[in-house]
Amino acid sequence: MGSLADPYALRCVSDLPPPFRPVFGFRYFNSLQSECFHVCFFSDVNMVVSAPTGSGKTVLFELCILRLLSRFLSPDSRFNLIKGTLKTIYIAPSKALVQEKLRDWKTKLGPLGINCLEMTGDNEFYCNKAINDADLILTTPEKFDSMSRHGIRDGALGFFSDIALVLIDEVHLLNDPRGAALEAVVSRIKMLSRHGNMKSAPLANVRFVAVSATIPNIEDIGYAPAKNDFLFERQYEHLREASLTCSDKQLQACIVHGVGFHNGGLCLKDRSLVEGLFLKGDLQILCTTNTLAHGVNLPAHTVVIKSTQFFNKEKGLYVEYERSMVLQMCGRAGRPPFDDTGTIIIMTRRETVHLYENLLNGCEMVESQLLPCAVEHLNAEIVQLTVPEISLAIEWIKCSYLYIRIKKAVRSNKHNFADMVVGSEEDNVILFHEKIRTQEFHR
């Protein structure tokens, strides 16, 4: 059993209260999990954890969830859940990752009576009662942003006061254009937590826990032959039977040869079939688009990224993938506990080789993407009355990751914040607000 006196000792699952131990299917936490164990489970401090893909960061989320649920433990360690009174919001960049976590946590936390609710574009059939009764809401930044905008306007966000824990997966998404929605959502939750009528609500002391791949400026986000022949024949028969359940004829023809493909054009049933066959090792090769990049737990020994560009319809030309997307593709290779090693092959142009060397070495800075759409998000807060006056607009900006990067004055930033750092923090924010209002920044 690990002890506090030895920070390098592995912590044991038996260190948890008895009702929580069945959540984990192993005896000991790994080194990362053991190092973070005390902070996750015995404190309520905000956390940002940067570690390589496959290092076990999801367990940290689970420890934080159990920390929150420990409030329902009696002195004799009996677990008595009061449904919907302490909510956890899990935010992930893709529906696929949300749905994977939903399946996983329903299995792990269901025996405790935890009610999990998916809130994505694939699941529009939820009502206010379902939200109010939920203990764990899993969503994407865009969906939560949209839902909370309309909800505030319609008076249907009573559940906000019950939010006690916000889990942010792949927080380096902040560096993507889509990161603006995540930034806006976090700022909104922070602003609402400061309202006077929330003083006695769980939201007043909401805890933020974020995880990401390795990034350099993590502190800023602190925001046998015969037998083989027989097995092959048996496997072929298994694949032939599996292929008959496919609705896609092309996929049906590929599966019998031990090859599959996965993309957003497949129906959910076919996607799930391919994922299951690959996870069990029945499919040896899987050709896929970036739909498998964000966190979906389909580990491989070798990942080949054939070109680092894609065709952007809006711009009418080929552009580079976002760096975080490439990093997540690489993260599919050699994931513990499925494999001890992994191989990544990146095919790119000679002039961009240095970009991906820096990326894999953890030298890629994460920058805010809020600025180009700050007018839209600030207007949304004004309409919702989250920001009814100038002073609160300044507070909203101060709640954002953008503001942290402004203060850092990173001159390599494509938006060039250097001209704004001219005086006190208050002066900088007021100047920033004036620039937004007069639309001096190009959108």
DSSP codes of every residue in 298-345:
--BSEEEEE-SEEEETTTTEEEEPPHHHHHHHHTTBT-TTT-S--EEE
Q: pLDDT of 164-212, one tens digit each?
A: 999 999 888 888 888 899 999 999 999 889 888 888 899 999 999 999 8
The Cα–Cα gap between 368 and 219 comes to 14
Q: How many CA atoms lie within 13 A of 207 on its CB side?
A: 20
Q: Is 80 exceeded by the pLDDT of residue 427? A: no
What is the DSSP secondary structure assignment for residue 13, as one 8-state letter? Answer: G
Q: Is 44 helix (H, G, I), strand (E, B) or coil?
A: coil
Nearest partner of 431 among 441, 389, 377, 372, judged by Cα: 441
pLDDT at 52 (0 to 100):
73
Mean pLDDT of the chain: 81
Q: What is the pLDDT, as a whole number, of residue 233? A: 41
**Cα separation, 380 vs 184, whole angstroms:** 10
Per-residue pLDDT, 126:
66
Comparison of pLDDT for 126 and 224, the residue scoring more: 126
Q: Tell me, what DSSP letter sits at residue 121? A: T
Report CA dihedral (186, 188, 190, 191) to the nearest 10 degrees. Answer: 160
* Chain-centre distance for alpha carbon 7: 28
| pLDDT category of residue 139 using cuts at 50, 70 and 90 | very high
Local confidence band at 73 (pLDDT 50, 70, 90 cut-offs): very high
Mean pLDDT across the stretch 338-366?
A: 82
pLDDT of 103: 94
* Comparison of pLDDT for 157 and 376, the residue scoring more: 376
Percent of the chain with pLDDT over 90: 33
First vs last C-alpha separation in the chain: 55
Which residue ranges make up each domain of the chain? 13-215, 225-351, 371-437
148-164 tens-digit pLDDT: 876 554 555 678 889 99
pLDDT digits (tens, 9 = 90+) for 6-60: 555 789 999 999 999 999 999 999 888 998 999 999 999 999 988 877 778 999 9
- Mean pLDDT for 340-365 is 82
Quote the percentage of the chain above a pLDDT of 70. Answer: 80
Tokens 């009061």 belong to residue: 82
Does residue 79 contact residue 73 with C-beta atoms inside 8 Å? yes
- Residue 333, pLDDT > 90, answer no
- pLDDT at residue 125, as a whole number: 62
- CATH says 13-215 is which class? alpha beta
- Please report the pLDDT score of residue 421 as a whole number: 40
**Alpha-carbon distance values, 84 to 130, 147, 195 (Å):** 9, 18, 21
Residue 298 has pLDDT above 80, yes or no: no
Q: What is the pLDDT of residue 148?
A: 81
| Of the candidates 350, 365, 368, 349, the residue with the CA atom closest to the CA atom of residue 407 | 368
Token readout for 207 is 């805890």
User: How many Å apart are CA 130 and CA 291, to the nearest integer?
Assistant: 29
Distances (CA, A) of 3 to 21, 23, 35, 66: 18, 21, 11, 20
Element (H, E) at 96: helix 95-109
Q: Which of 268-282, 310-324, 379-393, 426-440 has the least mean pLDDT?
A: 426-440
Torsion of the alpha carbons at 346, 349, 350 and 356, rounded to the nearest 10: -40
Looking at CATH, the fold of the domain delimited by 225-351 is given as Rossmann fold (3.40.50)
Please provide the size of the chain in residues: 443
Is 63 exposed, middle or buried, given 0-12, 13-18 or 19+ CB atoms closer than 10 A?
Answer: buried
Task: Return the SS3 of 166.
Answer: strand
Crossing angle of helices 57-69 and 31-42, in 10° steps, is 20
Mean pLDDT of 411-430: 46
Tell which wins on pLDDT, 31 or 142: 142
Contact 326, 359 (CB under 8 A): yes
pLDDT of residue 141: 93
Q: Where are the strands (E) in 151-280, listed by range?
A: 163-168, 207-212, 259-262
Domains 13-215 and 225-351 share a fold: yes
